[in-house]
């Protein structure tokens, strides 16, 4: 793979999709307002939960805020990259425009996963980072390079797991044609990831760890942030994200054999 | 002899298609138990195409023309048979193969909707590893040929269908492909836009010696561009050869319009044993086998007082339409 070529193409993807989005200014402003209100709403919900107790599943309010911060970053990434691109896969397949993607001398997964970005999601990422920085203050966390690299690694693994899950579901469109609902279910699971894994019953915890690894997505990066994560958990997250990514890629290449292209 | 650039041997393709009975009962049944049938849409077809040829694929809706084009450009896996396009197996979609071909579909578009077409051109140029100055040169040349230099900077959504189609062509040709697969490229265009597009394709073919495979429901596209046609009926090839020969073979008759000087002559002529297609007072159209034209005309000119006379080919649309319905050549 020619990395220089892909970087050049990605910079063109960024240019064209930002230019496209800027054609509709009002839409961007509304998205920005929605992002702010959504974070305020989530924080309000969290304060209600902690009104009668100062501990949920072993997490204090200040610590639970970290999970909220990581969730906000992930949601921002979802809105910036996954939502505009991965939901489009369904459209590409239904309308047969995947033809144009497949006939380009370019990796098709790269093309359909990164072609567009929605700049409004970037605000959520900034808000999430700001919330995390605030949390380092109230939880008296020392930031050093090792800590920073570890946080970034687990966060990147979380992004990779979320992406792979979403991509896997979208790929099934090649057979089932319409899978909007399945990706909506995934979004609701991510919503669950705003709460500490320990606050769920044992059976639910097992479900969210094994079948849909939402637990890995928010809880482990939060534990790393608080210095509570054990090494095996971090390694496990790296392995799980790698496996998920490889499976999603293999599955995509396999599924393309069954692509029939919409009729003219 | 030119080399074969496309070779197809015993190519077949089957699709699994589910059918549904009408009404609520049918819908419920369809939801719980889907009955799928395997339908063979392409059946053991064989053909070769040489470099620089323009070949038209003719067939009724659902005959399998688009499926063949999509197998040739590598979008669909064949169920059986051998395919070779420029030395590659198309469905492997090797990057070197993809750089050699292009697919243009009249009903689907790849241009970025909210931006001027020039942005999509530069993006495509980067995807095909074309340097910026070279891309600029090619865009200039193609936009001059297509006469869309003014539209390059207007958002795609504001362009007319004809202008959009030209921009689509430019986006698809920026990498100088050797083979063009065109699936109904003139769909929905007005007469002038259709004519311009055909003119462009003729010049492009002459200048670059590119091979063109074309499907179209507009007969004018086929007659003005393709010397060779392949007729498809229910997934089988029913004719593969020169368009002229096909027309001669199917329609051995010519129409002769005769304008008689008097009503009496016209009346006598219509009762003289010729096959009369239509009569409007002094004007009569008769149908005559091509080989009998000379003696018949001699006879008519000797016997009757004729004011004027025209010999016409029957309309191509009519002839091709008959092939599509019958499926036989």
B116 shares a domain with B171 = yes
Profile chain B (329 residues) by mean pLDDT over runs of 10 residues.
86 83 75 78 94 92 89 92 94 94 89 93 95 94 88 93 90 94 87 87 93 89 91 90 83 83 84 83 84 85 86 72 69
What's the distance, CA B187 to chain centroid? 11
Question: In this complex, is the C-beta atom of A26 within 8 Å of any C-beta atom belonging to chain B?
Answer: no
* Whether ipTM exceeds 0.85: no
B299 contacts: CB under 8 Å, gap ≥ 6: none
Question: In this complex, is the C-beta atom of B127 within 8 Å of any C-beta atom belonging to chain A?
Answer: yes
State phi, psi for B261 to the nearest 5 degrees: -75, -40
Q: Verify whether the Cβ–Cβ distance A97 to B95 is below 8 Å.
A: no
B158 shares a domain with B275 = no
Which is higher by pLDDT, A177 or A227? A227
pLDDT of residue B139: 95
Q: Is residue B23 part of a domain?
A: no
Say how far apart CA B242 and CA B226 lie, in whole Å: 9
Measured CA to CA in angstroms, residue B147 lies from B142, B144, B170 at distances of: 8, 5, 11
pLDDT above 60 (res A264)? no
Q: Is residue B90 part of a domain?
A: yes
Q: Is residue B26 part of a domain?
A: no
Measured CA to CA in angstroms, residue B113 lies from A17, A20, A245, B158, B209 at distances of: 11, 8, 31, 9, 32
Question: In this complex, is the C-beta atom of A100 within 8 Å of any C-beta atom belonging to chain B?
Answer: yes
Would you kindly state where each structural domain of chain A is located, as residue ranges?
3-256
Say how far apart CA B170 and CA B73 lie, in whole Å: 19
pLDDT of residue A212: 61
B190 contacts: CB under 8 Å, gap ≥ 6: B162
Say how far apart CA A29 and CA B164 lie, in whole Å: 31
In a mutagenesis test of the B interface, which of A99, A107, A177, A252 is the best target, namely the one with the most B β-carbons within 10 Å? A99
Model confidence at A249, pLDDT cuts 50, 70, 90, reads very high
B57 shares a domain with B153 = yes
B98 shares a domain with B161 = yes
pLDDT of residue B126: 95
pLDDT of residue A156: 94
Segment A135-151, tens digit of pLDDT: 888 888 877 888 889 88
Q: What is the CATH number of the domain that holds B103?
A: 3.40.50.300
B165 shares a domain with B266 = no
B279 shares a domain with B236 = no
pLDDT above 60 (res A226)? yes
Q: Is residue B261 part of a domain?
A: yes
Strands (E), B51-185: 54-58, 80-85, 101-105, 179-183
User: Mean of the pLDDT values across residues A67-81?
Assistant: 88
Q: Tokens 């790929």 identify what position?
A: A171
Element of type H or E holding B308: strand B306-312
C-alpha closest to that of B181 among B66, B80, B9: B66
State phi, psi for B262 to the nearest 5 degrees: -125, 160
Question: In this complex, is the C-beta atom of A12 within 8 Å of any C-beta atom belonging to chain B?
Answer: yes
Lowest mean pLDDT among A67-71, A192-196, B2-6, B273-277: A192-196
pLDDT of residue B328: 65
Contacts of A20 in chain B (CB under 8 A): 112-115
Strand partners, A186: none
B186 shares a domain with B134 = yes
In a mutagenesis test of the A interface, which of B102, B112, B132 is the best target, namely the one with the most A β-carbons within 10 Å? B112
Contacts of A12 in chain B (CB under 8 A): 122-123, 126
Please state whether beta strands B179-183 and B253-260 pair in parallel, antiparallel, or not at all (unpaired).
unpaired
B91 shares a domain with B230 = yes
- At residue B239, the 3 state secondary structure works out as strand
Most confident range, picked from A113-122, A218-227, B250-259, B278-287: A113-122
Q: Verify whether the Cβ–Cβ distance B110 to A102 is below 8 Å.
A: no
pLDDT of residue B301: 86
Strands (E), A98-143: none
pLDDT of residue A196: 67
In a mutagenesis test of the A interface, which of B108, B128, B181 is the best target, namely the one with the most A β-carbons within 10 Å? B108
B256 shares a domain with B244 = no
Residue in chain A closest to B107 (alpha carbons) equals A264
B180 shares a domain with B69 = yes
Mean pLDDT over the full length of chain A: 84
B89 shares a domain with B220 = yes
Q: Is residue B210 part of a domain?
A: yes
pLDDT of residue A103: 95
Q: Is residue B37 part of a domain?
A: no
pLDDT of residue B253: 79
Sign of CA dihedral A124, A127, A133, A138: negative
Q: Verify whether the Cβ–Cβ distance B66 to A96 is below 8 Å.
A: no
Contacts of A261 in chain B (CB under 8 A): 70, 75-76
Say how far apart CA A21 and CA B42 lie, in whole Å: 43
State phi, psi for B87 to the nearest 5 degrees: 85, 5
Size of interface A-B (CB pairs under 8 A): 78
Distance from CA of B329 to the nearest CA of A (A): 25
Contacts of B184 in chain A (CB under 8 A): 264
pLDDT of residue A170: 86
Of B225, B248, B271, the residue at which a domain comes to its end is B248
Q: Per the structure, how many domains does chain B have? A: 2
pLDDT of residue B270: 83
B127 shares a domain with B70 = yes
Which is higher by pLDDT, A76 or A95? A76
For residue B295, what are the domain limits?
Answer: 252-313
In a mutagenesis test of the B interface, which of A91, A104, A108, A111 is the best target, namely the one with the most B β-carbons within 10 Å? A104
pLDDT of residue B175: 95
Burial class (CB in 10 A: 0-12, 13-18, 19+), B154: middle
Q: Is residue B126 part of a domain?
A: yes
Q: Verify whether the Cβ–Cβ distance B184 to A264 is below 8 Å.
A: yes
Q: Report the C-alpha dihedral over residues B225, B229, B234, B235, rounded to 10 degrees.
A: -100
pLDDT of residue B38: 85
Q: Is residue B18 part of a domain?
A: no
């Amino acid at each position: 793979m020619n990395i220089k070529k892909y970087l050049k193409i990605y910079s063109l993807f960024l240019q064209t999709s930002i230019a496209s989005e800027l054609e509709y200014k009002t839409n961007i402003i509304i998205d920005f307002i929605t992002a702010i209100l959504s974070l305020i709403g989530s924080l309000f919900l969290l304060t209600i939960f902690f009104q009668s107790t100062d501990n949920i599943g072993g997490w204090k309010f200040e610590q639970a805020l970290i999970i909220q911060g990581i969730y906000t970053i992930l949601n921002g990434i979802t809105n910036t990259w996954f939502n505009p691109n991965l939901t489009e896969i369904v459209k590409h397949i239904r309308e047969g425009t995947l033809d144009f993607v497949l006939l380009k001398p370019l990796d098709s997964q790269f093309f359909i996963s990164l072609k567009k970005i929605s700049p409004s999601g970037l605000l959520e990422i900034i808000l999430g980072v700001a919330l995390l920085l605030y949390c380092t203050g109230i939880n008296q966390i020392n930031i050093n390079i090792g800590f920073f690299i570890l946080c970034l690694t687990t966060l990147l693994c979380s992004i990779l797991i979320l992406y792979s899950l979403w991509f896997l579901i979208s790929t099934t469109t090649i057979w089932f044609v319409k899978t909007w609902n399945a990706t909506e279910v995934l979004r609701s699971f991510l919503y669950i990831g705003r709460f500490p894994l320990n606050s769920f019953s044992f059976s639910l915890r097992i479900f969210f760890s094994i079948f849909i690894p939402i637990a890995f997505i928010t809880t482990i990066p939060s534990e790393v942030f608080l210095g509570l994560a054990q090494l095996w958990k971090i390694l496990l997250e790296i392995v799980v994200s790698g496996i998920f990514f490889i499976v999603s890629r293999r599955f995509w290449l396999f599924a393309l054999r069954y692509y029939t292209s919409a009729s003219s | 002899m030119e080399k074969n650039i496309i070779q197809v041997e015993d190519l077949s393709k089957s699709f699994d298609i589910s059918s549904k009975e009408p009404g609520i009962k049918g819908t419920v049944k369809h939801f719980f138990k889907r009955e799928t049938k395997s339908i063979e849409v392409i059946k053991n077809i064989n053909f070769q195409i040489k470099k620089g040829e323009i070949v038209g694929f003719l067939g009724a809706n659902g005959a399998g023309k688009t499926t063949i084009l999509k197998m040739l450009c590598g979008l669909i896996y064949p169920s059986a048979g051998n395919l070779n396009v420029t030395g590659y197996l198309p469905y492997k979609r090797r990057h070197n193969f993809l750089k050699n071909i292009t697919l243009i579909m009249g009903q689907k578009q790849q241009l970025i909707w909210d931006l001027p077409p020039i942005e999509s051109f530069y993006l495509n140029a980067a995807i095909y590893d074309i340097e910026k100055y070279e891309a600029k040169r090619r865009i200039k040349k193609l936009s001059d040929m297509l006469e869309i230099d003014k539209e390059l900077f207007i958002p795609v959504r504001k362009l007319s269908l004809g202008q959009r189609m030209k921009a689509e062509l430019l986006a698809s040709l920026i990498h100088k492909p050797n083979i063009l697969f065109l699936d109904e490229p003139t769909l929905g265009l007005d007469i002038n836009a259709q004519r311009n597009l055909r003119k462009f394709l003729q010049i492009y073919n002459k200048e670059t010696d590119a091979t063109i495979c074309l499907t179209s429901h507009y007969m004018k596209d086929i007659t003005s561009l393709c010397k060779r046609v392949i007729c498809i009926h229910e997934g089988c090839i029913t004719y593969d050869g020169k368009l002229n020969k096909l027309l001669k073979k199917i329609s051995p008759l010519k129409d002769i319009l005769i304008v008689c000087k008097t009503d009496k002559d016209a009346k006598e002529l219509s009762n003289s044993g010729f096959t009369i297609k239509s009569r409007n007072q002094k004007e009569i159209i008769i149908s005559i086998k091509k080989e009998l034209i000379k003696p018949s005309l001699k006879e008519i000119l000797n016997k009757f007082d004729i004011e004027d006379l025209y010999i016409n080919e029957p309309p191509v649309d009519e002839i091709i339409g008959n092939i599509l319905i019958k499926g036989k050549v």
